[in-house]
Structure 1
């Protein structure tokens, strides 16, 4: 995802142009690009007027389990640390405004998004997720785009944000995931340093993982280690969640953080020191319990390890992409690429 800081009016146009560019690269048609431009403008304007400034993230979204356009699109995330909203539902109504405007901003965003999520509370800032599909939304009788029952909303229960080092477009962090029945497997890679060479190493780890994602994590990690020898190397971690067995198998090299959270309890998972592709002492798998309702959090070292407990109660019960974005907002170090992945138990994903 690309990020634009929104602190003054001219950056609204910058955010719109960036989102339009990303939408065109993703394959949106002319009408779709127009929807993206509108949503980006409204979100960026809201950040200025109501959040005291903030950050707009924009990046492609797709479901690895599907290839049709209804499962691909663009995520826009507006994040601020402003005063927050006392009544988020009221703020979504057309005509309601606390800034003396027409009060159609968030309502327009929701109407044009295939998936819309909002989290806000007084004193805690706000976060908005708007997911737009490459395929046009089917309108409902009241003119709203289908949201809560769309394939994009009921996709596998994970979400992530990946943001490059400030001022760069190539991100040295990458992730991917697959789902097979009750089995879900997640990979995260952090290429050494940042920039194009780090991005190449991380992308190579993703490519090798996708060749045989259902093998044991240790075996996949060994294959990635060999594949990354011509690159600058990467920290890599793989988590294999087997809900039927109630267990997660984990193997990692380097400083990818990973934890299983169940209620108020957290279990951090162990990686060995080293760099995939270069220095490696050993590869070892560890198994941890996966209780009902558990949540997996993985992150690169661009996120501070002190993210637990989250600053907002109930954060990990939110839509996974929104939860990942809030962890990024509140705990990113700000001096490196940053990747945060949240994977929830599918039944725990909120539908409204």
Structure 2
């Protein structure tokens, strides 16, 4: 359950703040002085690019912990003019702003994982992941899952939560939205994720039932759990409240069914649904801080990008701005 710090970047004076936050996160993760330098370079270049090329935007700073390892994740998102030739923009010396043209190239060189998605007239999202240890080829776009979870503007505690547990055939995923926002909502979300960590191997209705009982001392939450089976190519889903879940393939989009209620207070019907999928089988779950009108048709090629990058693009374009916002994406095609 990693919470992301969303730093607005619209002015050169904010570049140093993003660099400081990123370096602090890395230091807490045990990065060496040399590694902290890499993180600072990446954060500075991403923030600078937001100003020069994106007309301002947000830098999403957080941690990651998955099968690819653990470390710091930085994602820049903007709604600027977009990049016409991504391959050319990654070469040193290329610039459309009269600068030295080393921004994206420097970011890629200093990262263990790098990915980018851009559309003309819509904007750009750039992902950089950094770990401790030696740099390898920064081409890892094969992580099984990624997420963005951001508190409501003005809050430091996030009332949303999420967690992923891998098992032999796939992953089990929880997304929870504590009622309201702020510290009491965060307490409910944290309680739900702790219950999930303990009982994630149980059948999904039992996980939800235990969560419902365990949240009675709290203000309650909307909660959903999904289990993606990569061998059988099936997603099982159980939800109480307004956590949205969708399965996206190259040929279809399936919206999954969640029953009304609030875990911890009223959960009259706890029912599992199974959904077969083909191809990539992208699973997207999000809290109601994200609008539901999105469609992958708007984003040609996005389905094949890094799951964290997909989550960030949906956050950028559909964040309602008045609540905590969480998007979790799982790629069902990765063995």
Using the size of structure 1 for normalisation, the TM-score is 0.90
2:137 to 138, 142, 146: 146
Give the equivalent residue in structure 1 for 2:44: 41
- For 2:297 and 2:220, the matched residues in 1 are separated by 31
Q: Which runs of 4+ in 1 moved over 3 A?
A: none
2:247 to 235, 238, 260: 260
SS of 2:172's partner is strand
- 5 Å-filtered alignment, 1:47-196, equals 47-63=50-66, 71-133=69-131, 135-138=132-135, 145-148=136-139, 154-155=142-143, 157-196=144-183
Task: Quote how far apart the aligned CAs of 1:26 are.
Answer: 2.8
Per-residue CA deviation, residues 279-309 of structure 1 (Å, 9 max, x unaligned), is 2212111112222321111000011010124
Give the equivalent residue in structure 1 for 2:200: 213
Give the equivalent residue in structure 2 for 1:222: 209
Q: Do structure 1's residue 17 and structure 2's residue 23 form an aligned pair?
A: no
Per-residue CA deviation, residues 15-60 of structure 1 (Å, 9 max, x unaligned), is 1122222222333232222221111111000000011111100001
Instruction: Decide whether the 8 Å contact of 2:142 with 2:306 is kept in 1.
Output: no
Instruction: Decide whether the 8 Å contact of 1:187 with 1:209 is kept in 2.
Output: yes
Instruction: Decide whether the 8 Å contact of 1:23 with 1:36 is kept in 2.
Output: yes
CA RMSD across the alignment: 1.6
In structure 1, the gaps of 5 or more residues are 139-144
- 5 Å-filtered alignment, 1:261-300, equals 261-300=248-287
Bigger mean CA deviation after superposition, 45-54 or 121-130 = 121-130
Q: Do structure 1's residue 4 and structure 2's residue 7 form an aligned pair?
A: yes
Per-residue CA deviation, residues 314-333 of structure 1 (Å, 9 max, x unaligned), is 22221111111111111111
Using the size of structure 2 for normalisation, the TM-score is 0.94
**Larger RCO (alpha carbons 8 Å, 6+ apart):** 2
Task: Quote how far apart the aligned CAs of 1:310 are.
Answer: 4.8
SS of 2:293's partner is helix
Instruction: Decide whether the 8 Å contact of 2:147 with 2:327 is kept in 1.
Output: yes
In structure 2, the gaps of 5 or more residues are none
Instruction: Decide whether the 8 Å contact of 2:109 with 2:138 is kept in 1.
Output: no
Alignment coverage as a number of residue pairs: 332
- For 1:309 and 1:242, the matched residues in 2 are separated by 22
SS of 1:49's partner is helix
Instruction: Decide whether the 8 Å contact of 1:124 with 1:312 is kept in 2.
Output: no
Give the equivalent residue in structure 2 for 1:141: none
Task: Quote how far apart the aligned CAs of 1:347 are.
Answer: 4.1
SS of 2:108's partner is helix
